[in-house]
Every structure is written in C-alpha cells, then in structure tokens.
Structure 1
C-alpha cells in the first residue's frame, strides 16, 4: 500500500476560510483544510483570540 506522507499542501479552495490573518492549506490526500493561525489566535479557523499565548508560536488546527 502507498503512504499518504508526506502530504502535499494545495491552495485552499475556499476564500477567507481561515480568519484573523490565518493561512489556509488543503491536503487533498486526506480531504482536510488546515489553518495556520497568525500569532495571538487559535481555533480550527483561527476564530479565537489566544489570550494565554500571545507571544507563542502559531498554532495549526486540522479538521
């Protein structure tokens, strides 16, 4: 059987999917949209202000 890794990120098919400056990638092999949130935001679509980690590295959420 073939492996899905490494996954190739494609441009996001949905405009403005990630909020608050997040970057969206589409992983076709697994059918997932992934948001890489800008600093200070979290959530599946970067919809929440991260008041506890305002100076930390950005978060990645998949669904």
Structure 2
C-alpha cells in the first residue's frame, strides 16, 4: 500500500472508533479522488473548483 492509502486508512479507523464521519474537498482533476472512492468516500457535492466528499462509519 502507498503512504496515502496508509494515512487515510488510519484516519478512517480512528474516525470509525469514535463514530465520526470524515469530509474533504478534492480539486477537480486530482487523481486522489479515486483513492477516496476506493476507501469508501462518496461525493456529497461540488462547486467550480472542488468536489466535496464524505465517509461515514459502517453501521453495526
């Protein structure tokens, strides 16, 4: 796994333990968007420059 995957996975693990969601903005054309999608983020919205993405902890 790459460093980006490792860092985001660790963040999501901590957020899950706390029952928190994570939001971020990613610039249009930024390939990191595909990493976020692969890790479970969903697009929440967009504006002229960015896409807003959100990750919610799994229910259980």
Which category of TM-score, normalised to the shorter sequence, fits these structures? under 0.3
- Larger RCO, structures 1/2 (Cα 8 Å, 6+ apart): 2
Higher relative helix content: 2
TM-score by length of 2: 0.26
- Which structure: larger Rg? 1
